[in-house]
Chain A
Amino acid sequence: MAVQTRTAPRVRAQVSLWDRVKMPLFYGVLAAWTVVSIFPFWVSLVYSLKPVANAYDPPILWPIPFTLENYRTVLTEFELFPRWLLNSAIISVVLTVVRTLFCAMGGYAFARLRFPGRRFLFITMLFSMMVPGQVLIIPRFLVIGPGVIRNLTIGGTKIPTGFGLLDSLLAVIVPGIVDAFGLFMMTQFYRSIPKELEEAAAIDGAGRFGTFFRIVLPMSQTALITLALFTFQGTWNEFMWPLIVLRTPENFTLPLGLQWFRGEYYTLYSIVLAGSLFNSLPIILIFFLFQRYFIRSIAVTGLKGV
C-alpha cells in the first residue's frame, strides 16, 4: 500500500509532462518530415526554371534568374524526347487497361467459379509472387528475344523458341499483361462482396460471360480504379525490364530516356531536371486526384496480404 501511494504522484507527473510536450513533438516530427519529403522536388523544380549556367548557384529556394528556356529546349531541341513520352504513354495505357481486365477476369474465376485445380493454382500464384525478379530476368529475356534454344531444328524446319521482340514496345508489354499481385487483389475483392446480384442476373438468364461483363465489372469500379492506378504508376516508372529489352534510343521509355539523356548532357543539369518533371508530374498529379484509391489499395494489400 505504502509503495503505491508513494509512486502514484510520480507517475502522474511523468504523464502530464509527456502530455505537455507530446503535441509539439508530434508536430515537429511531421513538419520536419514534410520538409525532407518535399525539399528535393521543390529545389529540382526551382533549378529547372533557372538558366543552365546557374545549375548549382544560390538562391536555392527561388528561381532567380527565371527562365523557361530548359523546357523549351527539352520539347523542341531533342526530337527524341516527345518520342519517349509517347512510348511511355503507350506502354502504360495499354498495360493498365489489359492488366486490369485480365486480373479482374482471373480474380473473378478464383473467387466465384468452381473448377478443378482452383486451390492448387491459387496457392501456386501466391508463391509466384515471392520469386525475386533477378531469377526471372535472364530466361524472360531469352523468351522475349533471341530464343531459349538457338537454331532448334526438327526435321529440317527451324522451330522458334523466342518471340523475337527485342527492342520493341511489345517486349515490355507482353510479360506484363497480367500479374499475380493484381490477380490476388481482385480475388480478395470479389471474395469480399456479396454474390446476390450476380445470382439474380444468372436467374434472369444472362450467361456467365454476360453476367461478368454487364453486372460484375461495372460493380467492381472501385477495385478496378485502384488496380488501374497502381498498374499505371508501376509501368510508368518501370526501369529494369525496359532497360534489358529496349536498345535503340528511339524505342526508349521516359525513365530510360532520362537516364540516357543524363549521360549525354550531364553538364546541362537544369535540362535534365526539366525533363525529369515530365516523368514525375503526371504521376504526382494522378496521385493528388485519386489519393483515396492509392491509400485504400495500400491499406488493403498491406493488411489482407498478411
Chain B
Amino acid sequence: MNMRMRRRLGEWLTAYIFLLPWLFIFLVFVLFSIGWAFYLSFTKYNLFSPPQWVGVEQYLKVIRNEDFLQHALPNTLKYVAVVVPTQTVLSLIIAFALDQKIRFRRFFRTAFYVPSVTSSVVISLIFLWLFSKIGIINQIFHLDIDWLNSPTYALPTIMIVNIWSTIGTMMLIFLAALQDIPESLYEAAEIDGANRFQIFRHITIPALRPAIFFVVTMGVIGCFQVFDQIYVMTSGGPLGATTTMAYLVYKWAFQSTNIRMGRASAVAFILSLMILVVVLIQRRFIEQPEEE
C-alpha cells in the first residue's frame, strides 16, 4: 500500500517535471498574456505612463476609427473572402491531378511544396522585384502597372503572393486525404453505374470533408493574421490600401510615434472574435452532410 502510494506520487512528480517547461511558457506567455491583453484593451496605455482604465471606450474608438473602418476591416474581409476559396479550390484541383496515375509524382510534389518552405520575407522580396513597375511580370505580359504602389492593385498582388505560397501545404493535406479513400468505394460506385462526376460529387467530396474543414480553417486563421508580406511589401500602403487588422495591431502598438497599446489590444480581440465566428460558420457548412 505504502509502496503503491509512493510509486503513484513519483509518477505525478515525473509528469509535472516533464511538463514544467510547457507549464511555465503556458502560464506566462499564454494564460497571463491573454488576461493582460484583455485588461489592456480596456485601458489607455502608451508604455510610458501606467495603463489608465477607460472601460469600453477603446472598442468604441476602434469601430469609429477611419483606419479601421475604411481600410483594416474591409481589406481583411476582402482578403479572406478571396484568398481562402481560391487557395482551397486550386490546391484541391492540383491534389486531384496528382492523385491520378501520374508519372514523376514525386517531382511534382516536391516542386509544389518549395514555396511553402521558403520564408515569407524572401518570398515578399522576390515578388516585390517581380511586380515592380519595370519588373519581369510587366515585361512578360506587356503591362505597365505599378502593382504595389497602386491602391487598386496592391492588395490583389499580396493576395496572389499568399495564394501562391500556401498552396503547397494545402495540396499535400488534400493529397494525403485523397490517398486515404479506399479503392473499394470507387469500385462499388462504378459497379452501381455512377459516372465520373457522380463519383467525384458523392464519394470523393464527402470523404474529403474533414480535410476541407481543416484546410479552410487553417486558411481562415492564416488570412486573418496576414502580416509579414504586408509589412515587407507595402507597409500597409498605398493610402491604407493594404492595411489589415493584424497590421493595424502592430502599427498602433509598436510603430507609430503615438503608441496605443490599449487600442491595439482591442483590435486584436475584435480580430479573434471574427476568426472564431468565421470558423464556426464554415464548420456548419462543411461538416453538415447535405440532405440527400
Contact B275 A303 (CB under 8 A): no
Contact B114 A143 (CB under 8 A): no
Interface of A is mostly: helix
Quick check: is B42 within 8 A (CB to CB) of the other chain? Answer: no
Given A109-B15, A279-B122, A136:B214 Cβ within 8 A: no
8 pairs of A and B residues whose beta carbons are closest in the complex:
A237-B119, A302-B173, A299-B176, A139-B33, A115-B15, A255-B121, A109-B18, A113-B15
Distance, CA A103 to CA B224, complexed state (A)? 28
Quick check: is A305 within 8 A (CB to CB) of the other chain? Answer: yes
Contacting chain A: which of B52-60, B80-88, B131-139, B146-154?
B131-139
With beta carbons under 8 angstroms apart, the residue of B111, B176, B246 that contacts A38 is: B111
Interface string of A91-134 (1 = CB under 8 A from B): 00000000000110110111001111010010011001011111
Quick check: is B40 within 8 A (CB to CB) of the other chain? Answer: yes
Distance, CA A229 to CA B70, complexed state (A)? 41
Contact B164 A36 (CB under 8 A): yes
Cβ–Cβ < 8 Å partners of B37 in chain A: 135-136, 138-139
**In which size bucket is the chain A interface?**
35 or more
* Total inter-chain residue pairs, C-beta < 8 Å: 276
Contact B172 A295 (CB under 8 A): yes
Distance, CA A149 to CA B51, complexed state (A)? 9
Cβ–Cβ < 8 Å partners of A280 in chain B: 118-119, 122
Cβ–Cβ < 8 Å partners of A103 in chain B: 22
Quick check: is A189 within 8 A (CB to CB) of the other chain? Answer: no
Contact B29 A140 (CB under 8 A): yes
Most A Cβ at <10 Å: residue of B117, B195, B276: B117
Contact B211 A303 (CB under 8 A): yes
Interface string of B218-231 (1 = CB under 8 A from A): 00010011011001
Interface string of A225-259 (1 = CB under 8 A from B): 00000000100110110011000000000011011
Quick check: is B269 within 8 A (CB to CB) of the other chain? Answer: yes
Cβ–Cβ < 8 Å partners of A209 in chain B: 14
Q: What is the total number of residues of chain B having a CB less than 8 Å from a CB of chain A?
A: 97
Quick check: is B177 within 8 A (CB to CB) of the other chain? Answer: yes
Interface string of A192-226 (1 = CB under 8 A from B): 00000000000000001100100000000000000
With beta carbons under 8 angstroms apart, the residue of B16, B113, B249, B250 that contacts A115 is: B16
B214-246 contacts to A, CB under 8 A, are 214-215, 221, 224-225, 227-228, 231-232, 245-246
Given A60-B140, A298-B176, A273:B129 Cβ within 8 A: yes
Quick check: is B210 within 8 A (CB to CB) of the other chain? Answer: yes
Contact B214 A34 (CB under 8 A): no
Quick check: is A183 within 8 A (CB to CB) of the other chain? Answer: yes
Contact B15 A136 (CB under 8 A): no
Contact B268 A138 (CB under 8 A): yes
